[in-house]
Structure 1
Amino acid sequence: MPEEDLIELKFRLYDGSDIGPFKFSQASTIGMVKERIVSEWPKDNKITPKSKDEIKLINAGKILENSKAVGQCKMPFEELPKAAITMHVVVVQSVPKAKTEKKVVEGPRKQTCGCTIM
């Protein structure tokens, strides 16, 4: 694979630290990139994603979709010197849904009304 076909990416985490830079082919999907981020995630961080679905990548103010190719997401700054493109990583952990119990109110319901006079 020619060196020109590779895109160098690094990833900025919520605490200001970076993962990478890594080189990816332009045909690599964002889903593949997210899998690499999960595998390289620092073990000493408080927030650690368990899967690629808990990560959102942001580049140039846009959230990147898993099905998109890396080549489709790069910024159009071809005249700039070759440097790693920095993408921001946001971890969206799924919160387990707690079962809510219906509160049984015993006795008659009180009717209330609220009014605002202006």
Structure 2
Amino acid sequence: MLEEELVELKFRLYDGSDIGPFRYSPASTVAMLKERIVAEWPKDKKIAPKGANDIKLINAGKILENSKTVGQCRVPFGDLPKAVITMHVVVQPFITKVKTAEKKVDEASRKNVCSCSIL
């Protein structure tokens, strides 16, 4: 495979730091990109995905599907053949944390109920 055919990607994390850049074949899938991101995730980050299903990749404002290839997700950039494409990485919150936060809101609304009696 010619080196010119490879697509150079880097992945921007929630705090502005980057993973990469790495070169990928246009036939590489988004699922393969996610696996690499999880493997390369910095150990010093407070928020970290447990697996590839815990992250979403965003390119040009669109969430990328796991079955799509890099070639299909690539947005034409005109005459920039060697430009590095930046994709944003979003770590999905864990479901258990979301449920406990909802319970706290429900409990707080129950405690603020007024029980007045008119005589």
TM-score by length of 2: 0.78
- Could you tell me which residue of structure 1 aligns to residue 30 of structure 2? 30
- Could you tell me which residue of structure 1 aligns to residue 2 of structure 2? 2
Which region of structure 1 is more displaced relative to structure 2, 46-55 or 78-87?
A: 78-87
Shift of 1:45: 0.1
- Could you tell me which residue of structure 2 aligns to residue 69 of structure 1? 69
Give the letter for the 1:14 counterpart: Y
Once the two structures are superposed, the pairs formed by residues 72-87 of structure 1 within 5 Å of their partners are: 72-87=72-87
Gaps spanning 5+ residues in structure 1: where? 101-118
Deviation >6 Å, runs of 4+? none
Q: For residues 47 and 59 of structure 1, what CA distance do their matches in structure 2 show?
A: 21
- 2:44 pairs with 1:44: yes
On the 8 A contact 1:6/1:25 being kept in 2, the answer is yes
Shift of 1:93: 2.9
On the 8 A contact 1:49/1:93 being kept in 2, the answer is no
- Could you tell me which residue of structure 1 aligns to residue 21 of structure 2? 21
Give the letter for the 1:88 counterpart: H
Secondary structure in structure 1 of the residue aligned to 2:43: coil
Shift of 1:81: 4.5
Gaps spanning 5+ residues in structure 2: where? 104-119
- Could you tell me which residue of structure 1 aligns to residue 90 of structure 2? 90
Which structure has the highest helix share of the two? Answer: 2
Q: Please give the root-mean-square deviation of Cα atoms over the aligned residues, in Å.
A: 1.4
Shift of 1:84: 0.8
TM-score by length of 1: 0.79
Give the letter for the 2:43 counterpart: K
- Could you tell me which residue of structure 1 aligns to residue 106 of structure 2? none
For the pair shown, the structure with the greater C-alpha radius of gyration is 1
Q: For residues 29 and 80 of structure 1, what CA distance do their matches in structure 2 show?
A: 22
Give the letter for the 1:50 counterpart: K
Shift of 1:75: 1.3
CA distance 1:81–1:29, change in 2 (3 Å): closer
Secondary structure in structure 2 of the residue aligned to 1:72: helix
Give the letter for the 1:60 counterpart: A
